[in-house]
Structure 1
Amino acid sequence: MILFFRPKNDSDPENLSNQLSHQRKQPVLLERRKQVSQEYVCDVWRTDLSLSREELVDLRQELHKSGQIDLIQIPQFLQGRTLFCFDMDSTLIQEEVIDELARFAGVYDEVASVTKEAMEGNLNFIEALRKRCTYLKDLPLSVFDDLYSKIRVNHGVPELLIGLKERNSKTAVFSGGFTDILEKFKSKYGIDEIRANYLDRKDGKLVGTVSGRVVDKNVKRDSLLELGSEFKIPKSNIVAVGDGANDQLMLEEAGLGIGFHAKEGLKSKISNWIDFAPMDVLLYLFD
């Protein structure tokens, strides 16, 4: 099946059906789903075809010419117990927390230079994280309260998390960021499990180091598998959502991996992503 997400003010199913029929050179009949997202509708093409990644990319590109249309290919709708695993920075929230901490500390350029090193392949994620954290030394712990008050959740995130609770879904957030922010987010939105990095502290200040196993792409994947087993949820009912290369293994291990406003490096490796719609369209995945 393929789900098509479109803004309510541009949602004539007949026009989309005609467009798809022309593109696919075969009749395409669409079924309008009951609206659960505040701003986007969902039309379903109940087809037994399984389109290749290349076909899905071509279809997206064609549809983008006529509007902000997203699509996701799924084998079936979700039923029963489900687990949703999310990345945090630039996925659930708009900010990259370490960059914002660097701004507070007045060392943004220094931290950005380390990020550039990592992107150029000269440092791996763990090395880059540890090096960037050295620049946060002597920040007061009060910075986390100041920062959290400025964090902006991405469009549709509160509505999605409320909807998942109503459907008795388990939720988890795996972040290369920091426990101080994740604990606040967990408390506010009722997240079941979090995995993030612990910044060492002394006398009310950060000391510039992290303790324990760093949450990288491998830890994200392993955490998804661990929680799926702990909650006794089959792989087919596990959904993972992220935006960057650090999320790829997690998305591949899930029954359904979805990029959300994803970077090109991740989109080149996956088949399903959302470019335009708010995150609450993921509620259309349920039967």
Structure 2
Amino acid sequence: METKANVDNETPSIHSEHVKEEFYKWFESRGLLSDLRAYMRQLMVKALEESNKNGKTVRPSKGATSPKLQAINLLMVDYLFHEDYLYTVSVFASEAQILDSLPQYSSYVTQTVRERRLEPSSLPRFSQQETEDILDTLRLPPTRQAARQATQLYLSGHESLFTCVVRTLTSSGLDQDVAMRGAEVDQEVLSVGCSHQLWSQEMENLLLLAGVKLQHIRRMQHKWAQLIEEERMIVRQEEEAQRMEWERDIEQRVRVEVMEQLRERQRVRVEVMEQLRERQ
């Protein structure tokens, strides 16, 4: 009797473990684990927030966040969404307490669990006013050309606002370098390298201040370097195309001027010959 009872007690446990294992394999094979973790974490955060509203203190609230840090957090959330780092978003958003002001992003996590992949156009996006406010807080007011270009690039495309800002600032910096070609090449390259290095260090400090893990910052820095190199290649190709077009224009102008001079000489020669004939 005891043996039978023990077998009966063990059978459900074995069956339960088997079911858990099968469920885990099923979610893993379909790439849903990170989305499920993000969704469950979001539900936990909401439950904790509700309990806090009912008078139960979950944890001491953080001090007021500066507008600059809030703008950086918004950039990070938007970037992580576009890179499909949903689990990282759920962790970051719960610690930064930022999704309350972005209901469209919060609902996107729930929707993504039901519908695994969405088209890029279906991703949540900032409005034009929100985009300008974020950039203005980061000392990129709408009056600056870089801010206008970044806003236009973001609203007309499918990339994250952070990526658009990096592309725009990189392109603007390279345009300024091209305009200052009169300076020595070595000094110019050194100045550009120092500017990018300082900018990268400042961004790293801001991200660390925002609570982003170092490993994620390193990934983003690697992607920044790729984006910068891509933009440099594009600018170099455009410069080469412009140079070739300029050379063709110069060659054409010189050819036209030479032909006009030859025609003028021929006309003068004909006039001289006619005058000589008349005298004879």
TM-score range, shorter chain: under 0.3
Q: Name whichever structure is richer in strand by fraction.
A: 1
State the TM-score, normalizing by the size of structure 1.
0.26
The structure where helix makes up a greater share of residues is: 2
